Chain A
Amino acid sequence: MTEIKGRFGGFGGQFIPETLMNAVIELEEAYNKYKEDPEFVAELADLFNNYAGRPSNLYYAKHMTENLGGAKIYLKREDLNHTGSHKINNVLGQVLLAKKMGKTRIIAETGAGQHGVATATAAALMGLECEVYMGKHDTDRQALNVYRMELLGTKVHPVTSGTMTLKDAVNETLREWTKRIDDTHYVMGSVMGPHPFPTIVRDFQAVISKEIKEQMLEKEGKLPNAVIACVGGGSNAMGAFYNFIEDKAVRLIGCEAAGLGVDTKDTAATMATGSVGIFHGMKSYFCQDEYGQIAPVYSISAGLDYPGIGPEHAYLRDSGRAEYVPVTDDEAVEAFEYLSGIEGIIPAIESAHAISYAMKLAPTMSKDQIIVVNVSGRGDKDVAAIARYKGVEIYE
């Protein structure tokens, strides 16, 4: 592995306009200063524990385990965090950092609205001005989240360029950042973008695997055999994997959104169908054509509807440390209904992709083996869409 700054193997980097370079350098310096600063660490721990509701439970899914008849299944309940997903971990870290840096305004992209709502929440809490960029297609689909952000005092900008979804929201937020840097921090929502974002977001999300490890040792006295998480950009998966990377016996499995299937055009499975490219500030895998034009992607899950994946995942895949599997819309919806019915937990449709693979894997494993599935978010936001998918016309 060549050691270039901000690289994971050959992936990552800082492929951004010169206008932004001093901003990311300033961010890296500030992060390196504060990440070990006892006061910053204590403030963040306080926000995690007393505001976000950490540590999140590691729940033994007894009925699911018995029903599948194989490995013991534990669910890491990131859905129980404040704002309903793992996104709050990263956002509290970055907004606190921005505040320490003297920034007074934060901007962010959002797909389904989970990251936007989390950012708007942290901005309200810490008293910063906040603007969120969201594809027009998504503001229409997720009108409730738009209203939620507005309620929290955030201005939401519908993005009408390109495919009007998550990648276009990232484009527009990057453009906005080049216009106004001095007082503004870009709260990147996933383990993607230019260095140092993939590292910063991973570090703030790594609390997930830190807790899983402690909770697992307490409950079972041993590490799990597999950790499963869904991947779009890849932040909840990176958080769930990170503290297990050195524990080579633990299988790390990322579940990509295959949409209608990896053999169709309507997919967002970057690892299964993409190739290496340079986009959104990083070298990684992307869904693209032979000329390097970024492909429109599709998934039932707006949170996984992204044509790329974080660079550290690209490295974990190429080095053989983690595996990535595609899960279709149909499989995810089936898992969404399954977990709701069997454990009384309605998962986010994103997280349902991970549940689906656990349903396949568990029966192939023995009863003394353990799977941990990261339930990255709660599914309330998806209920109306799933109803429509099943042919029931309900609107929020």
Chain B
Amino acid sequence: MNNMTAQSYIDKAFSNGKAFIPFITCGDPDLETTEKLVYAMEKAGANLIELGIPFSDPVAEGPIIQEASERALKGGVTTDKIFDMVKRIREKSSVPLAFMTYANLLFTYGLDKFLLGCKELGICCVILPDIPFEEKGEMLDKFQEYGVKMISLIAPTSKDRISKIAAEAEGFVYCVSSMGVTGTRTEITTDVAAMVAGVKEVNDIPCAVGFGISNAETAAKMSKAADGVIVGSAIVKIVGAHGRDCIEPVCEFVRELKGAMEQE
């Protein structure tokens, strides 16, 4: 049983300078490696770790995370096995953890069962890219009942929607840096600082930027504009290339990006 609240995990993640938030797909290449990656990335400077529960049809993902999800599902990973892994992690680590997945996985597994698992294992937030503001009522009551944060996302196309989304946001706000799906990009042209300012105008809540951040330079630049930086595809790509031997190269990459953010 876990006795830290979701908010205390989030405070922990965002209280030591800019937060570095890596994403990995659970079960790619296997859950033993995912577990090792969590410990190693925490040591390398990760402040909050996003665990992706693979979905057969991840509409918000680019090819890198699509392929990782496919590998993981082929390897037999399930939501139950992922909860078991988190249970093992919690015996050794209190690193802030979030789940990133799709609405159907919670809905079909059972919202109560899923959120009870999150609450008991100290998963502080769940990021669901296919639940926009208009549909969060579908699940919000249950999230609040179990004290788990449902993360709100804003995008470059949100414009006048930012203030209403931000006003009701909890935990932190996920700022989608670019149009399109997840993936590595050479540069980010969106005015992320303006998006973040739009949020802060109505709600004093941490903002983390994700989508397309794949090198130290962009990570450093984005960390100036926001409270945290989310890096997914670039890390998943290293995992894909090295398989079970990915721990050291991933950690090297995490240290490099975290270091670049601290220099800013």
Contacts and interface: CB of A to CB of B under 8 A. Distances in A.
Q: How large is the interface on B (under 10, 10 to 19, 20 to 34, 35 or more residues)?
A: 35 or more
Contact of B107 (A21, A23, A278, A294): A278
Contacts of B24: none
Contacts of A279: 57, 104
A19 B59 contact: no
A27 B155 CA distance: 18
A17 B135 contact: no
Interface stretch (A88-96, A121-129, A177-185, A371-379): A177-185
A391 B67 CA distance: 37
A279 B131 CA distance: 11
Interface stretch (B156-164, B199-207, B254-262): B156-164
Contacts of B176: 17-19
A83 interface: no
B138 A18 contact: no
A22 B162 CA distance: 11
A18 B78 contact: no
A363 interface: no
B62 to A, nearest CB: 8
A207 interface: no
Given A161-B66, A292-B104, A19 B179 contact: yes
Contacts of A181: 157, 179
Interface string A264-282: 0000000000011111110
Interface residues of A, number: 38
A17 B56 contact: no
Interface string A169-195: 001001100111100000000000000
A22 B157 contact: yes
The listed residue with most B CB atoms (<10 A of its CB), out of A18, A291, A293, is: A18
Given A15-B131, A162-B70, A175 B180 contact: yes
Nearest to A281: B130
B103 interface: yes
Contacts of A13: 134-135, 138
A248 B180 CA distance: 45
Contacts of B156: 19
A288 B179 contact: no
A285 to B, nearest CB: 12
The listed residue with most B CB atoms (<10 A of its CB), out of A16, A19, A290, is: A19
A77 interface: no
A14 B108 contact: no
B41 interface: no
B95 interface: no
A15 B130 contact: yes
Interface string A26-46: 000000000000000000000
12 contacts: A17-B155, A18-B132, A22-B157, A161-B63, A161-B66, A174-B59, A175-B59, A178-B181, A275-B108, A278-B138, A283-B138, A290-B108
